[in-house]
Structure 1
Amino acid sequence: MDENATGGPATARTDPATILAHARREVLEGGRGLDEASVLAVLQLPDESLTELLALAHEVRMRWCGPEIEVEGIISLKTGGCPEDCHFCSQSGKFDSPVRSAWLDVPSLVDAARQTAATGATEFCIVAAVRGPDERLMSQVREGVAAIQAAVEINVACSLGMLTQAQVDELAAMGVHRYNHNLETAQSHFTKVVTTHSWEERWETCEMVRAAGMELCCGAILGVGESLEQRAELAAQLARLEPDEVPLNFLNPRPGTPFGDYPPVKPRDALRAIAAFRLALPRTILRYSGGREITLGDLEAQGMLGGINAVIVGNYLTTLGRPAEADLKMLADLSMPIKSLQSTL
């Protein structure tokens, strides 16, 4: 059991064969995501059942999502100096971390989009470390999105914090394909992770994005002190929100942050979580995101065979990822085709 999962084992568990048989009937055969209690049972499966669990999650992904893998790159338009106190994030201006505030210019955004497209990626996400965008940031995004659309064949996504209805409408009118705003953790655990805004505020932005017709990307960061019960709670909350994409991040402890001394999620717990989220969200894009390198190491391919159907290639916002070539080689070795731009529209 993950050292960060503090809820303790269930007092009475159904045997693994029954749990897996129920998941097969509900999800693989019926196409229905597992409910919260069933997700928790999956998260509590013993290591001896992990191979069978991952195989089932892979079957579910192949049946309800297909074989293609979506590739995405991300870039930070505005780095550091964020007024929020997300305890895992080195971009918060409230912590003594080495990240300092900086802005990227529009030509650099276009160059990054070109480099991302050259990997075969279909999605390029512009990210800003803010509570929500002010007019300066919206102006920069407006100019950047237009320049990328004129120069590169790629879908443009944004992650700019919490939005007003007017900002949601403007981003949709710009042609932003997908908007990212993570719930991060379960509602019951949120105040242990963030205190400067509420879980409900995040949920409200997500609902506005969906209503405006943009695709919604909404995910999680695991290993921030949540219990297994709270991981199951989060999976159920995401299922209720019905996002198009769920990025799964694993805590990469950052010096100077309140979670800087937390241990990484254990590899088997990470693999169980990947499979459990796939079984809760059978038709959703489930993306490998930050922290997978230090959490899984040489076991990354097992996650790809356990329900993942999308990856972020290259570096993240303030931490290094694997070289894009390494991820593309992994996909080739696994005979996993990369989704084309045409098939995402």
Structure 2
Amino acid sequence: MIYVYNYKNLRREISSLLKKAPLALFELANKIRKKYHKDIVSLCAIVNAKSGLCSEDCVFCTQSVRHKTDINRYPFISAEAIFEKAKEAVSIKASCFGIVTSGKGLNSEKELSIICNALKLIEQNLPKLHRSASLGIVSKEILLRLKKAGLERYHHNLETSERFFPNICSTHSYNERFDTIKSAKEIGLEVCSGGIFGLGETIQDRIELALTIKRLNVNSVPLNFLNPIKGTKCEDFKPILPLEILKTIAIFRILLPDKDIKVCGGRNVNLRSLQSMIFFAGASGMMIGNYLTTAGNDPKMDLKMIEDLGLKVRP
């Protein structure tokens, strides 16, 4: 076990809350959101800077070499191409921009240099845009070089509880992910870490993930919901129901009252007409634009949704 928790009362309270009518749960989560985040919504956008050919076997991932998926595969794009995507992120009002690459980690000095050069370009030309990266399991030395180049936040999901993790990945361990997050925090980087839901985990697994994140004291918590893609091991999984998604968001808000909880992958395909409910269930942010290998909503429609709810986008 990574941590021995002393959260018995907290677990009991959450279990009790889950027995309430959903609207009562959402009302509590929404009150907490408004207390800590007012009516401000944070938006993040990403670029898939290297797509496909990942050696790992995460069951949900379209980019694994072990899956036969119909996606666009390509090597590292240039620092200039990454910068162009950063400019697009600003145009759709994202305040945070994430550079994402497939694979267990960076494979060469060349790849690291591209990321560092892209970070410098963004910092010099778009100084207000928060700079994040999601590059897999990396060493503290690499994180230090990225920070020196202008990185402000490192994204690395734990994905699920430590108990359930072997069900979704066998090619690396929970501890490896955990240690990467610890290294990022130790050198003073902000951390974005959350998970993916709808893989067969229990409610208790979701609670345990939230408690692990609580102990790690990360800055931002992305919540993803499985979009079963043909060719992956999850292609026949039953999609998670909208109400279950909203209850999961509420659990994370109650357990992590002051954190920036963002709804990311799977939002549009799973929530459909209930997408606007994420904020009333406790979310304080969301991803805007496309995901790694699937299309997101039209950004104009997402921005209009936020406006219609009387919320404001974080500058």
TM interval, shorter chain, is over 0.9
Q: Could you tell me which of 111, 120, 123 is aligned with 1:137?
A: 111
Deviation at 1:173, TM superposition (A): 1.4
TM-score after normalising by structure 2: 0.93
Offset at residue 151 of structure 1 (A): 2.3
Amino acid at match of 1:121: A
Partner of 1:282: 257
Contact 2:117 2:149 survives alignment (8 Å): no
Cα shift at 1:249:
0.2
**Aligned match of 1:8:** none
CA distance in 2, matches of 1:276, 1:289: 16
Match of 1:68 among 40, 47, 68: 40
Match of 2:199 in 1: 224
Indicate the SS of the match to 1:265: coil
Determine if contact 1:37/1:232 at 8 Å carries over to the other structure: no
* Cα distance in 1 for residues equivalent to 2:34 and 2:198: 27
Query: Within the alignment, does 1:94 sit opposite 2:69 as a pair?
Result: no
> Aligned AA for 1:157?
S
Cα distance in 2 between the residues matched to 1:321 and 1:72: 12
Whole-Å Cα distance in 1 between the matches of residues 50 and 153 of structure 2?
19
Matched residue type, 1:66? K
* Partner residue of 2:142 out of 167, 174, 189: 167
Q: 1:113-124 to 2 correspondence within 5 Å?
A: 113-124=86-97
| Equivalent position SS for 1:311 | strand
- Which secondary structure state, in structure 2, belongs to the residue aligned with residue 234 of structure 1? helix
**Which amino acid letter does the alignment assign opposite residue 138 of structure 1?**
L
Q: Percent identity?
A: 31
For 1:261, the equivalent position in structure 2 comes to: 236
The answer as to whether partners of 1:36 and 1:235 remain within 8 angstroms in 2 is: no
Contact 1:146 1:174 in 2 (8 A): yes
Partner of 2:273: 298
Partner amino acid for 2:60?
A: F
* Partner SS, residue 248 of structure 1: strand
1:190 equivalent in structure 2: 165
Please give the secondary structure, in 2, of the residue aligned with 1:187: coil
Instruction: Spell out, residue by residue over 1:239-277, the C-alpha distance to the aligned partner (whole angstroms, 9 max, x if none).
Output: 111110000000001111111111111111111111011
Amino acid at match of 1:119: I
Q: Tell me which residue corresponds to 2:126.
A: 152
Q: 1:107 aligns with which of 74, 80, 83?
A: 80
Shift of 1:100: 4.8
1:45 matched to 2:19: yes
1:304 Cα offset (Å): 1.4
Structure 2 residue runs of 5 or longer lacking an equivalent are 1-6
Distance (Å, rounded) in 2 between the aligned partners of 1:325 and 1:304: 18
1:291 is displaced (CA, Å) by: 0.2
Q: Residue 272 in 1 paired to residue 216 in 2?
A: no
User: Under a length normalisation based on structure 1, what TM-score does the superposition of the two structures give?
Assistant: 0.85
Measure how far apart 1:78 and its partner are: 0.6
| Cα distance in 1 between the residues matched to 2:240 and 2:292 | 20
1:110–1:151 Cα contact (<8 Å) kept: no
Q: Is 1:264–1:294's contact at 8 Å kept on the other side of the alignment?
A: no
The CA deviation at 1:195 is 0.3
Give distance in 2, aligned partners of 1:250 and 1:73. 17
Unaligned runs of 5+ in 1: 1-31, 341-345
Report the Cα distance in structure 2 between the residues aligned to 1:176 and 1:39, rounded to whole angstroms.
Answer: 36
Cα RMSD for the two superposed structures: 1.5
Residues in 1 aligned to 2:120 and 2:293: alpha-carbon distance in whole angstroms: 25
Q: C-alpha displacement at 1:157, in angstroms?
A: 0.5
Equivalent residue for 2:154, pick from 170, 176, 179: 179
Task: Tell me the CA shift for residue 150 of structure 1.
Answer: 2.3
